[in-house]
Chain A
Amino acid sequence: MATTAAQPRESTGWSSRTLSAILRFREASIIMAFLALCLFFWWRNPNVFLKPANLAVIMRFVATFGLLAIGEVLVIITGGIDLSVGSMTALTGVLVATLMMKGIGFLSLSPLGIAPSIVIVLIVAGLVGSWHGLCVTKLGIPPFIITLGTWLIARGAAAFVTRGYPIVFPSDFPFLTLGQGEIFQIPIMFVTLVVVAVVAFFILTSTTLGRHIYAVGGNIEAARVSGVNVDRVRIFSYVGSGTMAGLVGILWASRLGQGTPTVGSGYELWAIAATVIGGTSLFGGQGTVLGAILGAAIMGVMINGMVLVNLSSYLQDVVLGVVLVIAVTYDTWRRRQ
Chain B
Amino acid sequence: MGCLMVDNTPIVEMRNIKKSFGAVRALRGVDLALQHNEVLGLVGDNAAGKSTLMKVLSGAYIPDQGEIFIDDKRVRIEGPEDSRRLGIEMVYQDFALANNLDVAGNVFLGQEIVRWQLGPIRVMNKRRMEDRSRQLMDRLKIDIDSVRLKVENLSGGQRQSVAIGRATAFDAKIIIMDEPTAALSVAAIGQVLDLIEELKAQGVAIIMISHRLEDIHAVGDRVMVLRHGRRVADRPITGDIHEFREEAVAYMVGARDDFAEDTGNGRR
Is B5 positioned at the interface, with any CB of A under 8 Å from its CB? no
Question: Is B124 in contact with A214, judged by CB distance below 8 angstroms?
Answer: no
Report B136 CB to chain A, min CB distance, Å. 13
Q: Flag the segment in A172-180, A202-210, A300-308, A322-330 that touches B.
A: A202-210
Is A16 positioned at the interface, with any CB of B under 8 Å from its CB? no
Say whether, besides A4-B145, A211-B112, A226-B109, A218 and B100 are in contact (CB < 8 Å). Answer: yes
What are some 20 contacts across the A-B interface (CB < 8 A)?
A1-B144, A5-B146, A203-B121, A207-B121, A208-B112, A209-B122, A212-B109, A214-B100, A215-B105, A215-B109, A218-B100, A218-B101, A219-B98, A222-B109, A223-B109, A225-B80, A226-B109, A227-B111, A228-B109, A285-B99
Question: Is B146 in contact with A211, judged by CB distance below 8 angstroms?
Answer: no
Question: Is B123 in contact with A1, judged by CB distance below 8 angstroms?
Answer: no
Question: Is B84 in contact with A227, judged by CB distance below 8 angstroms?
Answer: yes
Partner of A207 from the list B90, B97, B98, B123 (CB cut-off 8 Å) is B123
List chain A residues, Cβ under 8 A from B96.
Answer: 222
Is B110 positioned at the interface, with any CB of A under 8 Å from its CB? yes
Question: Is A225 in contact with B90, judged by CB distance below 8 angstroms?
Answer: yes
Contacts of A138-169 to chain B: CB distance below 8 A: none
Contact with A along B15-28 (1 / 0, CB 8 A): 00000000000000
Residue in A1, A206, A222, A286 whose Cβ sees the most chain B Cβ within 10 Å: A222
Measured as residues with beta carbon below 8 angstroms from the partner, the interface class of chain A is: 20 to 34
Is A217 positioned at the interface, with any CB of B under 8 Å from its CB? yes
Closest to A228 in B: B110
Contact with A along B74-101 (1 / 0, CB 8 A): 0000001100100000101001111111
Contacts of A196-255 to chain B: CB distance below 8 A: 203, 206-209, 211-212, 214-215, 217-219, 221-223, 225-228
Is B143 positioned at the interface, with any CB of A under 8 Å from its CB? yes
Is B120 positioned at the interface, with any CB of A under 8 Å from its CB? yes
Partner of A222 from the list B98, B114, B143 (CB cut-off 8 Å) is B98
Is A315 positioned at the interface, with any CB of B under 8 Å from its CB? no
Report B185 CB to chain A, min CB distance, Å. 19
List chain B residues, Cβ under 8 A from A1.
Answer: 138, 143-145
Closest to A217 in B: B100
Question: Is B92 in contact with A208, judged by CB distance below 8 angstroms?
Answer: no
Contact with B along A107-148 (1 / 0, CB 8 A): 000000000000000000000000000000000000000000
- List 20 additional A-B contacts (Cβ < 8 Å) besides A2-B145, A207-B122, A226-B111: A1-B145, A206-B126, A207-B124, A208-B124, A212-B109, A214-B101, A215-B105, A215-B109, A218-B98, A219-B95, A219-B97, A219-B99, A222-B92, A222-B95, A223-B109, A225-B92, A225-B95, A227-B80, A285-B100, A286-B100
Report A24 CB to chain B, min CB distance, Å. 12
Chain A: residues with CB nearer than 8 A to chain B? 1-2, 4-5, 203, 206-209, 211-212, 214-215, 217-219, 221-223, 225-228, 285-286
**In the complex, the 9 A-B pairs of residues with the closest C-beta atoms, listed nearest first:** A5-B145, A226-B110, A218-B98, A218-B100, A227-B110, A221-B95, A285-B100, A219-B98, A226-B109
Closest to A287 in B: B100
List chain B residues, Cβ under 8 A from A222.
Answer: 92, 95-98, 106, 109
List chain B residues, Cβ under 8 A from A209.
Answer: 120-122
List chain A residues, Cβ under 8 A from B84.
Answer: 227
List chain B residues, Cβ under 8 A from A2.
Answer: 134, 145-146
List chain B residues, Cβ under 8 A from A208.
Answer: 112, 114, 122, 124
Report B98 CB to chain A, min CB distance, Å. 4
Report A284 CB to chain B, min CB distance, Å. 9
CA of A227 to CA of B98 in the docked complex: distance in angstroms?
13
Report A130 CB to chain B, min CB distance, Å. 14
Question: Is A215 in contact with B111, judged by CB distance below 8 angstroms?
Answer: no
CA of A286 to CA of B98 in the docked complex: distance in angstroms?
12
List chain A residues, Cβ under 8 A from B105.
Answer: 211, 214-215
Question: Is B138 in contact with A206, judged by CB distance below 8 angstroms?
Answer: no
List chain A residues, Cβ under 8 A from B121.
Answer: 203, 207, 209
Question: Is B81 in contact with A227, judged by CB distance below 8 angstroms?
Answer: yes
List chain B residues, Cβ under 8 A from A203.
Answer: 121
Question: Is B81 in contact with A214, judged by CB distance below 8 angstroms?
Answer: no
CA of A286 to CA of B101 in the docked complex: distance in angstroms?
10
Question: Is A211 in contact with B99, judged by CB distance below 8 angstroms?
Answer: no
List chain B residues, Cβ under 8 A from A212.
Answer: 109-110
Closest to B99 in A: A218
